[in-house]
Amino acid sequence: MTPHELTPEQERQAQELAARIQSRSAEAVLAIARTLVTSTDATLFGDTEFQIRQHALGVVADAYNEHLREKKDAATSARPSTARTAAARRRSTTSAREKSSPSAD
């Protein structure tokens, strides 16, 4: 299976993820469009280009955040472990004792 050949379940997940990414990044896409519409041939590159790249990187960050949130939700929704938890560590009493004063020789 190549990376673009998805199982029906993977396709469903991809469609859901795409919808969340689109929703989350809609403002950044609109900012890109606004920047492009207000640019001229003289201002298209340079600062304008860097602004657009910054917004595009925000879209990529949103995509990663959505994907990672999905993974975290899947991991935390699993059945709780049946393993016993470790008991609380007992404190050492040797470090709590007062130091004796130096003896006079």
Per-residue pLDDT of 20-38, as tens digits, reads 999 999 999 999 999 999 9
Cα separation of 1 and 79, whole Å? 30
Write b or e for each residue in 49-58: b if 16 or more Cβ atoms lie within 10 A of its Cβ, otherwise e: eebbeebeeb
Residues 6+ apart with CB under 8 A from 56: 28, 32
Which has the closest alpha carbon to 23: 53, 54, 59, 73?
59
* Separation of CA 68 from chain center: 5
Mind listing the pLDDT tens digit for each residue in 65-91?
A: 999 988 877 766 556 566 666 666 666
